[in-house]
Each structure stands twice: as structure tokens, then as C-alpha cells.
Amino acid sequence: MEMSHLRGFRQRAVMSQEQLAQKSGVARDTISKLEMGHRKAYPTTIRKLAAGLEVEPQMLLGGVEYLDEQPPEDTSPEQSDQIQSKKVGF
């Protein structure tokens, strides 16, 4: 899987690749290759990096932060789907 947002999240966390490697248990060389797009990430690697950065794994893959938000309680399931679709631009 492509890690299109890894570098940005690491930089926002004010971490070097070495610091992220120590915190996540993923080799610094692997982090470098992922950031440069020279390697694809395994799901377990994504989970480790996300834990090290304290973000949800889908965020590293370009997910949207507010997808886990619940719609207002007075919303029907159909309206809820429409609200979620609008949020992500579908």
C-alpha cells in the first residue's frame, strides 16, 4: 500500500525518521523507502507507524479524519449515508 501521507504526519509530529523508527519498531531505512515511494507498506507496518505517530492507520493512506464522526441522532440511515458521502466528496 502506498504511504502518501507518512512524511507529512512525521514532520507534523516533529520527529526524525530515526525517532519514528524507535517509537514504532519499523526500521528507519523502511520509513525512508516508504516516504520516497520506493516501497509499498504491509498492513502491519502501517499499523505500527500509525501507533508511533498516534494517528489512525487510514490517515497514513490518505483517509479523512472525520469519517468516524457519527451523524446527528435524528438522522435516518439513508440521510447518514448521504452526509458521509458529501464529507468525502463522492
- Please, is 34 exposed, middle or buried when counting C-beta atoms within 10 Å of its C-beta (0-12, 13-18, 19+)? buried
pLDDT in the model for residue 58: 87
Is 20 within a domain? yes
Q: What is the pLDDT of residue 84?
A: 47
Q: Does the residue 83 lie in any domain?
A: no
Domain count along the chain: 1
pTM, rounded to two decimals: 0.68
Confidence of residue 83 (pLDDT cuts 50, 70, 90): very low
Pick the residue with more confidence: 59 or 2? 59
Does residue 14 fall inside a structural domain?
A: yes
Which residues form the domain of 37? 6-65
For residue 3, the model assigns a pLDDT of 79
Residue with cell 509499498: 40
